[in-house]
Structure 1
Amino acid sequence: MRDATDPTPCSTPYSGAEVIVTTTAEHTTVAVAGELDLTVIDRLQARLTEELQLQPAALIIDLACVEFCSCGGLAVLLHAVTTAHDAGIPCAIVAASRPVLRPVRLLNLDRNLPIHPDRADVEQWLSLLARLR
């Protein structure tokens, strides 16, 4: 696992997956790099649950470096987004790659998952939410 201050370059090949958590006053980011498959979904589910129990100001799930996303991975994302929504925690997913977007669109989950193409878009969305409060 990398240090939370290190950027997660997507050009680096991953064996398995990495889950990196970064927390600021504005939001908590849970970044996943590699394959979001059966070998990592339990760990990701536990980490997302733990972070949501801490009641962050907002939760960002960064999948920019995900190379594969299984149905189990999608279920974890749906659960996290639903739990965050129920707790009143703004939640956004960063994803622009085909391995994530294709299954989301095929299953019509883009109606339920707040997907943003990049971090800048998420930051703008969170800024808008903060002004509305």
Structure 2
Amino acid sequence: MPSASARPERTVHTLPHPAPSAEDAPRVSPRPCAASLRIAEHRHSAGLLVVTIVGEFDHLSVPAAQHVLAGALPPMIILDLADVSFLGTSGLRVLMAAAGRADAEGRWLGIVADTVPVLRPLRLLAVDLAVPVYPRLDQAIQERPQRPLPTSRSIVA
């Protein structure tokens, strides 16, 4: 089995993350709305991929996110949405499809989100009940399972 360092990284996760507040309350907006979406991938360890999405996650930016999430994925994936300024229904569909794929393939998926524009739609569509949501990336990394879940956890609706 090749080592984690032998795998080429597509891009490097270099975005800063805000320090936790006293109450870890959701921020109203991470920054002014951007007209585009940036995606960075970082293989944190052999079995963990962190995908950081920055900007507006809507119908114009969905193809880039789908491209990243359509490839071969490791057993554990964290989608860092801490710097997403807008989460549209198209972006939500991508998140729900990623959750469905992770469940069907026995992978663990976590989401990092701490802003109202992201948390509100996640809660309205109960995505936060199907996928664990963390306020900070370091917390998601620390609380992820130490090994992948068994593949027999798929749920038939």
Is TM more than 0.5 here? yes
Instruction: Give how far 1:102 is off.
Output: 0.9
TM-score under structure 2 length normalisation: 0.70
Cα RMSD between the aligned structures? 2.3
Distance 1:49 1:88 in 2: 15
Between 1:107-116 and 1:38-47, the stretch displaced more is 107-116
TM-score under structure 1 length normalisation: 0.82
Instruction: Give how far 1:98 is off.
Output: 0.7
Q: Which has the higher helix share?
A: 1
Within a 5 Å distance, the mapping from 1:37-76 to structure 2 comes to 37-50=58-71, 53=72, 55-76=73-94
What's the secondary structure of 1:96's corresponding residue? coil
Distance 1:61 1:99 in 2: 16
Runs of 4+ displaced beyond 4 Å: 8-13
In the alignment, structure 2 segments of 5+ residues that lack a partner are 1-10, 18-29, 150-157
In the alignment, structure 1 segments of 5+ residues that lack a partner are none
Instruction: Give how far 1:41 is off.
Output: 0.8
Instruction: Give how far 1:7 is off.
Output: 2.2
Rg larger for: 2
What's the secondary structure of 2:61's corresponding residue? helix
Q: Number of residue pairs matched?
A: 126
What's the secondary structure of 1:77's corresponding residue? helix
Return closer, same or farther for 1:5/1:45 CA change in 2, 3 Å cut-off.
closer
Between 1:20-29 and 1:65-74, the stretch displaced more is 20-29
Instruction: Give how far 1:26 is off.
Output: 3.9
